[in-house]
Amino acid sequence: MAPKIKRIYLGDKMLPRIYQSNVVGSVYSGDFEPSDIAGLAGWWDASTASSLFDAVTGGSPTTANGSVMRWQDLSGNGNHLTQPANDTADAPVRKVADVNTAGKDAVLFDGTNDVLTLANNVDTSGGGSLFIVYKRTADANGGIHSFSGTTDANHHPFAGSFYEGFANGTRRSWVQAYSDAMSLYSVVSGASWVAYLNGLAVNTVAGTTPSAQAAVRPQGFGAGRYLNNAAQDFHAGTYICEAAIYDRALTTAERQKIEGYLAWKWGLQEQLPYDHPYASSFAGFGSQTLPSDPDALAYLSSVASADGTGVEVGVANAIDTFVKGCKSDGIWDSIKASCILAGARTLNGALVPLTPPLGSELWSVSTPSIVNFGGSIGVWDGSTLTMSNSVIGSNASYPRFQFSLPLTIGKRYAVSGTLTGDTSAISTIRLSSLPGASNVSYNSATGAFYATNVPAGAALLEFTTNGTIAYSVSIANLSIRETSGPTNNNFVTADYDRKTGLKGNGSTKYLNSNRANDDDPQDDKHTSAYISTVSSNAATVYIASAGRNTVGSTSFFRGSVTTNWGVNRPSTARVSDVLNADMVGFAGMSRFQASDFEYRANGATNTSTAFPSDTPDPGDLFVMSDGSSYHSDARLAFYSIGEALDLEKLDNRVSRFMAENKFFLNTGLSGKDYDIDTLNYINAGYENGGSIG
């Protein structure tokens, strides 16, 4: 078969793509390039060595560490980037197989005076889209590009925020912590203006009008605003790997395809949201593993709903590994109320319960109301729990089978089940007011459906089916239960950190787990937490029931010089442990029998036989408080409450997740192939100002 020629040039102009075997050109094995999408005005790729030159005109290809005086446009429009002063001292350099860019080539701007600009600006008055794969070299104010429709400078970042004015007369800003990880940044300006980082929308403004950049201010890279005046240029130390600009606002599908292409090409695929359409694979580049455990997927789906988008593949896979590991260790079913207070993008996401407390079963077999339309006739067989359609109609969204349920509008529910038969005939499943989109995840291949923490908008469960075919689908199993996560008392966004969790203030901020101290059996119970930073309070509570010091109470808290432990204790006395007074990391306690209980901190498990159990008090269990007089200003990244379990196994799983999550958020890389000591060592380096590279 003849090779597929992706780019052929006549001089500096790209000819249309052709397929022939007798022409020498750049052969690319993938099935997609940015030029496949209409409107490409400029495209610069550092991995194409033949596009980098040591002279503004003519010259030779730039060698490793040599000055890049001209970066040729691969779009075929002749929009070459050049050094405007024709001065090698102000030119970026070519880096080859650089460790800082995952072993790939890049163009490095020094952050002092390096800049490349266009001779003629791209017209974005009708809309525009910009994509840049980059890596910052220092946390200093400066702009990585000067494509702007405003007179204000672009800063990426500036004082903890991004300032961006691409293709719009108004510069936008949003809080964005500095990161030296390789990143994919994009902006689409049309009827709405949206900035994205690694496929995540980080700033959205509706009802905007695109604008062009004034000719006096050249577009280019290396500075936030270039005026041939060094005092006003706002340079940024940055590796630029690849960039593309379009003279129109791309559609969502087009944007996501370019994001997928660039992410996979530059090794950023794990930074895409796990629910991004190109998270699993991109033709020509390969594939990667995504979460697969049903409980992990249900949790991730709820977190995505709370956050507004899915977490990165790297975080999602760490969660999936944690859940699978807990199941493999035989401890998952003992975790009844829990939150991973790290990893989620927002505080709302962090407060989604990992395993929410469930109420009684609300599903019972009943006869559904059937809504027909377009000629179809739905039939329900109560003896086999089967939905069918024998008369082919014209509408793919009917018949609809609606089961009335004793739901309360405003409360939240966990839904799960399995269908069998012609499962592809089910279009959507929803627990919501009608009409409305599906809010229950459904896999038509397996028939499995699930959702957690779903708010009810109507007292019914609806199956939407495809009436244009004959089908028969049976309900193999179905469960609907009321659920609740923790109640947030006074925590705000600033209290949450994706790496280290939620910080109390020692007085008013705490969580009510909404699990009562007597929900678990008297002699079959555990509580645990992951402490990222210790409390400064002389007395601080990590988890406690409302009684704390009463008979039958449960708590572990730090006194002035000891940590105190008690599970359904028989008196006001409790275990006092001076060795673990300032414990960090995993801590917890578990009672398997009346005569004794175990407690674990700092990697060691101890057993107390001095305090047999008593009837548990009925109050709720609180996190970072006893619900009244004692609180904590510690920072917690996890808690769990439930039946007795092996504390060492839970410690290993929680500590591993925390290390992987922090490593990914520090580096943008998966930590799954590193041992925990290596992860902790690298994470400690980041905490002390270091980085990889």
Three-class HEC string of 178-240: CCCCCEEEEEEECCEEEEEECCEEEEEEECCCECCCCCCCCCEECECCCCCCHHHCCECEEEE
CA dihedral 451, 452, 453, 454 (to 10 degrees): 20
DSSP single-letter state for residue 506? S
Consecutive 10-residue averages of pLDDT for the chain (693 residues): 41 38 36 94 96 97 98 97 96 94 93 93 94 92 88 83 90 87 94 95 91 81 73 84 97 97 96 95 94 91 85 97 98 95 94 79 91 95 95 94 83 83 92 64 83 67 94 93 84 96 95 88 93 82 79 73 58 57 85 89 86 84 88 94 96 98 93 95 89 67
CA atoms within 13 A on the CB side of 564: 19
Instruction: For residue 8, give Cα distances in angstroms to 25, 27, 574, 672.
Output: 6, 9, 79, 41
Secondary structure of residue 676 in the 3-state scheme: helix
What per-residue confidence (pLDDT) applies to 422?
Answer: 94
Beta strands at 540-545 and 555-558: parallel, antiparallel or unpaired:
antiparallel
Q: How far apart are alpha carbons 197 and 176 in whole angstroms?
A: 10
Task: Encode 510-552 in three state secondary structure.
Answer: EEEEEEECCCCCCCCEEEEEEEEECCCCCCEEEEEECCCCCCC
pLDDT of residue 379: 96
Domain ranges of the chain: 1-30, 34-250, 369-483, 487-649
Alpha helices, DSSP H only, in 329-468? 347-350
**Residue 621 burial (10 A CB sphere; 0-12, 13-18, 19+):** buried
Torsion of CA 366, 367, 371, 372, to 10 degrees: 140
Domain 487-649: give its CATH code: 2.60.120.200
**Among candidate residues 16, 39, 41, 7, the one with its CA nearest the CA of residue 243:** 41
Write the CB contacts of 365 (distance below 8 Å, at least 6 apart in sequence). Answer: 382, 385
d(CA 172, CA 679): 36
Q: Distance (Å, rounded) from C-alpha 83 to C-alpha 71?
A: 9
Q: What are phi and psi of 397, to 5 degrees?
A: -115, 10
Confirm if 690 and 684 have CB atoms less than 8 A apart. Answer: no
Pairwise CA distance, residues 49 & 42, whole Å: 17
Where residue 65 falls (left for φ over 0; alpha for ψ -120 to 50; beta otherwise) is left
For residues 372 and 459, give the distance between their C-alpha atoms in angstroms, rounded to a whole number.
20
pTM over 0.95: no
Residue pair 611/590 in contact by the 8 Å Cβ criterion: no
Which tokens hold the place of 440? 């229950």
Q: 641 with 559: CB under 8 angstroms? A: no
Confidence (pLDDT) at 6? 45
CA distances from residue 64 to 68, 105, 107, 136 in whole angstroms, order as listed: 10, 9, 10, 20
Q: Which two tokens stand for residue 291?
A: 């979460």
Residue pair 641/515 in contact by the 8 Å Cβ criterion = yes
**Cα 500 to Cα 668: distance, rounded to the nearest angstrom:** 16
The DSSP symbol for 625 reads B
- Tokens for 557, please give them: 């808290």
∠ Cα 349 440 373 (to 5°) = 145
How many DSSP H helices and E strands does the chain contain? 6, 47
Q: Residue 680 — φ and ψ, nearest 5°?
A: -65, -35
Backbone angles phi, psi at 264, to 5 degrees: -70, -35
Secondary-structure breakdown of the chain: helix, strand, coil percentages, each rounded to the nearest 5: 15, 35, 50
Can you give the length of the chain in residues? 693
The domain 369-483: what is its CATH number? 2.60.120
Q: Is 77 helix (H, G, I), strand (E, B) or coil?
A: coil
CATH number for the segment(s) 34-250:
2.60.120.200
- Give every CB contact of residue 252 below 8 A, 6+ residues apart in sequence: none
Beta partners for residue 641, in sequence order: 337, 527
What pLDDT does residue 82 have? 97
DSSP 285: T
What is the spatial distance between Cα 469 and Cα 422, in angstroms, rounded to a whole number? 10
CA–CA separation, 535 vs 456, rounded Å?
A: 39
b/e sequence 174-208, b meaning 16+ C-beta within 10 Å: eebeebbbbbbbbbbbbeebbbbbbbbebbeeeeb
**Fold match flag (34-250 vs 369-483):** yes
CA–CA separation, 258 vs 431, rounded Å? 35
Within 10 Å of residue 489's Cβ, how many Cβ atoms? 17
Contacts for 296-300 with beta carbons within 8 Å, 24 or more apart?
A: 296/320, 296/322, 296/323, 296/324, 297/441, 297/450, 298/416, 298/441, 298/450, 298/451, 298/452, 299/323, 299/352, 299/354, 299/452, 300/274
